[in-house]
Structure 1
Amino acid sequence: MAESLAMQDTAAPDLPPTDRKLGLSAAEAQRRLARFGANAIADKPTPAWKLLAAKFWAPVPWMLEAVIVLQLLLGRRLEALVIAALLVFNAVVAFVQEQRAKDALALLRKQLHVTARVLRDGRWQPIPAEQVVPGDIVHVRAGDLVPADLLLFDGAVALDQAALTGESLPVDAGPGKPAYTGAIVRQGEAGGEVTATGARTFFGRTAELVRTSNAPSHMQRTIFAIVERLVIFDAALVVLVLAYALLHHLALPDTAVFALMLLVASVPVALPATYTLATAVSSLQLAHRGVLVTRLPAVEEAASMDTLVSDKTGTLTQNALTLAGAIALAAGSDENAVLRAASLASDDATQDPLDLAILGPARERGLLADAPQRQAFHPFDPSTRRSEGVYTVNEQAWHAVKGASTVIGPLCRLDAAQQAALDAAERRLAADGARVLAVAAGPADALQLLGVVGLSDPPRPDAAALIAQLTQLGVRVCMATGDAQETARAIGARLGLGTRVCVAQGAAAQNPEDCDLYARVLPEDKHAIVRALQQAGHVTGMTGDGVNDAPALRQAELGIAVASATDVAKAAAGVVLTDPGLGGVLTVVRAGREVHRRMLTYTLNKTLKTFEITVFLTLGLWLTGGFVISPMLIVLLLFANDFVTMSIATDRVRPAPKPQRWAVRRLVGAAAVLGALSLLFSFSAYWWIRGTQDLGAQQMQTVVFLLLVFTNQASIYVLRTDGRLWSFAPGRWMALASAGDVTLVSLLATLGWLMAPVPPALVAGLLASCAVFALALDATKHLAFRRFAIV
């Protein structure tokens, strides 16, 4: 398609041509940046008033607004005013919390940007893609996202434009051809001049690094599944309430208000703000510890990861290749001859670590002093798994080739004896963990195997300890490498990964539990490994750095782009590490389990309280023949409880020692058991006070309000930790929110604001009895958690 598309007119035809050897000057670049603006599509932020107004346009606000209308029709203006004030307060709190989360995400996005190599003042330099201007000279190579619309003038690249045009095959582009913003450079290198930026680009958008997925996470799906069950349960109670009201001739408007309140009680009003705040705050903390989050659900997915497939070079090893040795296999050849041929199949310009590790020792030994004239060079390509230099020797083309033994061997047409010698030499070097390359030279149609070279990349000093720590957390670490099986086995043994080596094809791909190490892995094999693990029921993490790793990073529940990753890999991953090694993975696993623990507390508490409140109010109606709480107090109750539950998002927690999975039935079962105990306590306290205290109907409504607020406090502190409720102090914000909530509702009840007053001694007695109840609930928690395998 790119061939048929006419190149868009330059953004500014009046711009003079740029000197391709010097590029733009810094001053000229600044002038053009001021003229054309940043190389980005300007966001069109929604006005704050619209975001705030949206808080009043949803199912829960609709029900509350209906209650306000009904209260006005019944002449209860004060109740309607209070409910309206609480509705506004809740909307403002949710709006403020979401803005806080958005601010945290904005900080992350500033750290996650595409870079561009630009020639300015005669010097190549990396700059943020947003600062590229028309007329800039830009260089792109494999693994890059094209930062702006370019007209290429040298080099050749294969461009993947699937995201732009839908074409599945890469498009070749060279001098005189366009390269459009957002295309992925699959192969090659090229230079080009920027013709358009920002909104003026051909496709009207820039390449975004942070591609946030709109799909809900496992946690969100689980919570909404629980909410769905709660709504169905409450709807059944509403039917019973309506039936009772009809049979006993209760006022229809009052019954409608009560029924609406029951439904409101089952909806987690604070869920969106709590979830977004919990993940955003955790993401911001991770950024300060060297882990950048590109998709918020990735934080929570890290909690359930039980298998991590890690690449070797630079992650488990130091990415500091050194020559481990060479073995000559051809008659008349020696170690220096093998090393010389290998160096002639290498090039400094590629900056390939393999090439640099070979060229250094070759130059030190003076093996390149009389190097022949080079005609061409073909750098290493993952598809061919070899590199090749073409030279002129005796006025004929002479080739020096190095690469995987499985590739070089067939090129040399080895007989059985030669193949056996090659295999033995490879095993000898690989036994110590060296990466082995076969070396051949000669005419293209008569290549001769000269020998093999071994390159050693020692493990990172911290790798074994980090793997052990991940294992203790229940995460099995596997290694995927392009090295031979012997090399993989030696590295795996040194790192404590195991020694079971597999290949990514065939039976091994179907039985991933039998594999500790994957050898001779091609980039496209990583996707198959991830799929095999997922089909076996594992929640999988995958590390990667190259453009070909992107499918596997996207497929994995937790795609991890390592510190040296290309922009494409970073765009596909859920998290990006800024420091080498696996330390960042350990950090994100612990952070994910902390988020999981917070949301587990929220979910269990919401389910428990919904069960308690709705059943209490329904049974209260049946047993007393009247409504045991007013609609205004129900609304006040829900907001008072949400005020505390939202603080769960920043609470101090202990991460679980093993991977966590969400299971709806187990969560609902445990919450139902604990909710039944809480309901029993609330009813017992209610009937005891009703029978022993001389209180009016409205005062008893105040008692119900206090009971349901105080038991909510008790359940939160019981559920926030797996141990005893006093064993782990809460976070500062939760403690402050809890203290403020208890103080406020106690004052309202004793002073008679918004409710009928009750004696201070009664309030204190209720608070003390709820504290004792918390101890009983805490003891039951251990039995329920064990029975339903919650942690």
Structure 2
Amino acid sequence: MGEVAYYTTGCKRGKAYAIALTNAPHSFVGRTASLVQGAKDQGHFKAIMNSIGTALLVLVMFFILAAWIGGFFRHLKIATPSDSSVNLLHYALILLIVGVPVGLPVVTTTTLAVGAAYLAKQKAIVQKLTAIESLAGVDVLCSDKTGTLTANQLSIREPYVAEGQDVNWMMAVAALASSHNLKSLDPIDKVTILTIKRYPKAREILGQGWRTEKFTPFDPVSKRITAVCHMGGDRYTCAKGAPKAILNLSECDQQTAALFREKDREFARRGFRSLGVAYQKNDEPWTLLGLLSMFDPPREDTAQTIIEAQQLGVPVKMLTGDAMAIAKETCKMLALGTKVYNSQKLIHGGLTGTTQHDLVERADGFAEVFPEHKYQVVEMLQQRGHLTAMTGDGVNDAPSLKKADCGIAVEGASEAAQAAADIVFLAPGLSTIVLAIKTSRQIFQRMKGYIQYRIALCIHLEIYLVTSMIIINETIRAELIVFIALFADLATVAVAYDNAHSEQRPVEWQLPKIWIISVVLGILLALATWVVRGAMYLPNGGIVQNFGSVQEILFLEVALTENWLIFVTRGGKTWPSFQLIGAILGVDALATIFAVFGWLSGGVSDATNPADHWGQRQDGWVDIVTVVVIWAYSIGVTVVIAIVYYLLNKITWLDDLGRKDRQHKDPVIENTIAALSKLAIEHAHGKDGVERYTLATKAAEESDDE
């Protein structure tokens, strides 16, 4: 009396009147929760994009510094001559334009958005775009049973009736011990009432003028529903609930109790959920009537879906609140494996941190779980380096859906589950998840191909332009560089609509591999551009046939080889889509027109060419034969780069470079966290009246067993 009950204090039983001293946001735990909510997690995908952007920015600064140092040795001015790109400010501007990938967030976000629209057509609503990338890398799927793996359509099979009792009376008592609120009937109460249709005599009993005095709904402490009813001057207390709870009410002999328990176990072995039924007349002892056997059949497509998910490298773990025997029987039906453990092993099994984690990794499922158990399973898998998805439909699934890397609310899920989830399925069952995984992996391949392409482009122009600035004091005009960057980004927005293949195993960002391949491709592109520039030093102009412009020839070669690089990095397992081909050909045609008519070439003032035996027109035009030669040369460069790209992807050590350890173990950390989880802050008043907070071992929870 008079003590403070703190937020998150657990209450086992009873009622109390209390005065609220403060509201949640201003309580100690509330302030902690607000800190957690305030610490916005940038997400896995955003972290990857930030790391790539930061690395490219550092590279740009390095190349700008190199270009300026070269410029100082050549006595270049900072901003003059103003009509030329050969000055230090233009050098910096040009390198910033090519080195900062302004199109990277646009293309990746567009790709994710188009993928989300496609998933929406398949009845999967994406609430967070980055969830698509997470789903592509998921390697463990935890799933609730009821309503997800099963149809959530309970049916009562043949009941067990205790010796000397009438089945009709038992069904009538079960119906009386059901909710009377028809608008929000519990599924168990609903199926109980509907089953009365099969028992006409039970309906006659219920039509004898019963009056309900008091109704006590199900609660997890008593584990039963109780209704006090009157009929013909007698008071009947009807009860329906967990078999153990109902058996504890009655005072039956040991033989009846043993038979009752055996029937309960038999029903569980067959995958049935049991409900005990008993009644008390006036003040007489409770009478045990029998057991209702309820069956929630697996969905027709669940077993096939689980097999397909396993083939995609995503094993499924079932988390259910049902009894162990029911969980094992369901796992057998669904070919999930029978390594199913009781949830008590997670907390009260006497296991250390590392052993607990091993158990969770090894298990096919857990039975008799509460929301905190589901949350704990997801957390342990994440601590081991697994990208974890969680599916569920109830309020009790919301914490684990929020915790998972990709939370999925299935069809018919509660509002709480939908709010906590990243993806919401509108189609029943889990069948949509296989399609969602395949689609998300296709989207991932598009983004990965584009990012390799974009890094290679930055490397290409940075290497060529800086070496050109230092060696021959020449660059490509800033105006043309702007169009090169525009062409590269505009054309590749169509990557969002490209055809892509789906990997058979979970995908991940192998940044070291991506960088190595992209740098190699960028260096090859830079060498190809230098070959073109070097050929123009030949007395006959090399690739120049009649007349041309150094600026426009370089512009066309860079634009063509860069645009066609996307056909290499996207991979060769599928043909490119007509949208991507159309976009690339469109900008190629525009680049060719630029070259033919000498747009923005700046005349010959920006070109340094000691060989004056071939003609450079003042208007910057390039003859058609030279344009054809450049096209043929660019095609040859692309073929060589495609061969190199193919060979790089065949190197075994490179293929595994950067892959995350999905079974990472850190016994010290895991054991420390396990030890801390067994401690709690204890609040007490000392003899001197001073409040004290001490760290103490948590009290073991009372067992609900007999």
What's 2:596 paired with?
750
* Cα separation, 1, equivalents of 2:648 and 2:260: 62
What's 1:166 paired with?
25
What's 1:719 paired with?
569
Q: Once the two structures are superposed, what CA deviation does each residue of 1:301-327 show, in whole Å capped at 9, x if it has no partner?
A: 221122222222232222221112323
What's 1:778 paired with?
642
Q: 1:341 to 1:632 in 2, by over 3 A?
A: same
What's 2:72 paired with?
246
Name the amino acid aligned to 1:678. Answer: L
- Structure 2 residue 169 is matched with structure 1 residue 347: no
SS at match of 1:264: helix
* Preserved CA contact (<8 Å) 1:308 1:542: yes
Q: 1:215 to 1:526 in 2, by over 3 A?
A: same
Following superposition, the deviation at residue 592 of structure 1 comes to 1.5
* Preserved CA contact (<8 Å) 1:218 1:301: yes
Following superposition, the deviation at residue 411 of structure 1 comes to 5.4
Name the amino acid aligned to 2:306. Answer: I
- Pick the aligned partner of 1:567 from 404, 415, 431: 415
- Pick the aligned partner of 1:688 from 535, 540, 546: 535
Q: Once the two structures are superposed, what CA deviation does each residue of 1:382-435 show, in whole Å capped at 9, x if it has no partner?
A: 676433323347867543333334554555689987776554323311222222
* Cα separation, 1, equivalents of 2:27 and 2:215: 29
Following superposition, the deviation at residue 448 of structure 1 comes to 5.5
Name the amino acid aligned to 1:561. Answer: A
Query: Where in structure 2 are the equivalents of 1:262-281 lying within 5 Å?
Result: 262-281=95-114
What's 1:789 paired with?
655
What's 1:766 paired with?
630
* Cα separation, 2, equivalents of 1:561 and 1:304: 18
Query: Where in structure 2 are the equivalents of 1:104-183 lying within 5 Å?
Result: 166=25
* Cα separation, 2, equivalents of 1:586 and 1:445: 57
Q: Once the two structures are superposed, what CA deviation does each residue of 1:419-469 show, in whole Å capped at 9, x if it has no partner?
A: 765543233112222222333433899655544322112221111112222
Q: Once the two structures are superposed, what CA deviation does each residue of 1:611-647 show, in whole Å capped at 9, x if it has no partner?
A: 11101111122222x1231222211111111111221
SS at match of 2:205: coil
Q: 1:335 to 1:538 in 2, by over 3 A?
A: farther
TM-score normalised per structure 2: 0.76
Query: Where in structure 2 are the equivalents of 1:190-205 lying within 5 Å?
Result: none
* Preserved CA contact (<8 Å) 1:322 1:457: yes
What's 2:478 paired with?
631
What's 1:558 paired with?
406
Following superposition, the deviation at residue 226 of structure 1 comes to 1.2
What's 2:435 paired with?
587
* Cα separation, 2, equivalents of 1:515 and 1:337: 43
Bigger mean CA offset, 455-464 vs 308-317 = 308-317
Following superposition, the deviation at residue 525 of structure 1 comes to 2.8
SS at match of 1:628: coil
* Preserved CA contact (<8 Å) 2:555 2:595: no
* Cα separation, 2, equivalents of 1:301 and 1:416: 55
Bigger mean CA offset, 682-691 vs 451-460 = 682-691
SS at match of 1:315: helix
Name the amino acid aligned to 2:645. Answer: K
Query: Where in structure 2 are the equivalents of 1:696-707 lying within 5 Å?
Result: 699-707=549-557
Following superposition, the deviation at residue 603 of structure 1 comes to 0.8
SS at match of 2:204: coil
- Pick the aligned partner of 1:708 from 558, 564, 568: 558
- Structure 2 residue 301 is matched with structure 1 residue 462: yes
Name the amino acid aligned to 1:555. Answer: K
Name the amino acid aligned to 2:74. Answer: H
* Cα separation, 2, equivalents of 1:503 and 1:536: 21
Alignment RMSD (CA, Å): 3.3
Give the number of the structure with larger relative contact order, counting CA–CA contacts within 8 Å between residues 6 or more apart: 2
SS at match of 1:439: strand
* Cα separation, 2, equivalents of 1:283 and 1:264: 31
Q: 1:442 to 1:785 in 2, by over 3 A?
A: farther
- Structure 2 residue 137 is matched with structure 1 residue 287: no
Q: Which has the larger radius of gyration?
A: 2
* Preserved CA contact (<8 Å) 2:547 2:623: no
Bigger mean CA offset, 734-743 vs 248-257 = 248-257
- Structure 2 residue 524 is matched with structure 1 residue 677: yes
What's 1:32 paired with?
none
SS at match of 2:293: strand
What's 2:213 paired with?
375
Bigger mean CA offset, 709-718 vs 350-359 = 350-359
* Cα separation, 1, equivalents of 2:253 and 2:537: 98
- Structure 2 residue 486 is matched with structure 1 residue 652: no
* Cα separation, 1, equivalents of 2:241 and 2:152: 18
Query: Where in structure 2 are the equivalents of 1:467-616 lying within 5 Å?
Result: 467-504=306-343, 505-506=346-347, 507=351, 510=357, 511-616=359-464
Following superposition, the deviation at residue 225 of structure 1 comes to 0.4
Q: Once the two structures are superposed, what CA deviation does each residue of 1:307-365 show, in whole Å capped at 9, x if it has no partner?
A: 2222222322222211123234x554465555444333223624222222223333422
TM-score normalised per structure 1: 0.68
* Cα separation, 2, equivalents of 1:409 and 1:657: 51
Q: 1:296 to 1:214 in 2, by over 3 A?
A: farther
Q: Once the two structures are superposed, what CA deviation does each residue of 1:474-528 show, in whole Å capped at 9, x if it has no partner?
A: 2212222221111111111111211111233335863322111221122343222
* Cα separation, 1, equivalents of 2:631 and 2:284: 91
Bigger mean CA offset, 759-768 vs 503-512 = 503-512
Query: Where in structure 2 are the equivalents of 1:350-499 lying within 5 Å?
Result: 350-365=184-199, 366-371=201-206, 372-381=210-219, 385-392=223-230, 398-405=236-243, 407-408=245-246, 421-442=259-280, 449-499=288-338
Q: 1:503 to 1:416 in 2, by over 3 A?
A: farther
Bigger mean CA offset, 215-224 vs 334-343 = 334-343
What's 1:309 paired with?
142
Name the amino acid aligned to 2:641. Answer: L
* Preserved CA contact (<8 Å) 2:141 2:388: yes
Structure 2 residues not aligned, in runs of 5+: 1-19, 29-36, 80-86, 602-619, 660-706
Q: 1:492 to 1:257 in 2, by over 3 A?
A: same
* Cα separation, 2, equivalents of 1:345 and 1:704: 85
SS at match of 1:314: helix
Q: Once the two structures are superposed, what CA deviation does each residue of 1:30-49 show, in whole Å capped at 9, x if it has no partner?
A: xxxxxxxxxxxxxxxxxxxx
* Preserved CA contact (<8 Å) 2:171 2:196: yes
Q: 1:242 to 1:409 in 2, by over 3 A?
A: farther
Q: 1:269 to 1:417 in 2, by over 3 A?
A: farther
What's 2:94 paired with?
261
Name the amino acid aligned to 1:367. Answer: A
* Preserved CA contact (<8 Å) 1:590 1:655: yes
* Preserved CA contact (<8 Å) 2:128 2:423: yes
Following superposition, the deviation at residue 276 of structure 1 comes to 2.5
Q: 1:385 to 1:754 in 2, by over 3 A?
A: farther
* Cα separation, 1, equivalents of 2:531 and 2:68: 26
What's 1:97 paired with?
none
Q: 1:766 to 1:321 in 2, by over 3 A?
A: same
* Preserved CA contact (<8 Å) 1:345 1:389: yes
Q: Once the two structures are superposed, what CA deviation does each residue of 1:78-137 show, in whole Å capped at 9, x if it has no partner?
A: xxxxxxxxxxxxxxxxxxxxxxxxxxxxxxxxxxxxxxxxxxxxxxxxxxxxxxxxxxxx
* Preserved CA contact (<8 Å) 2:484 2:555: yes
Q: How many residues matched?
A: 583
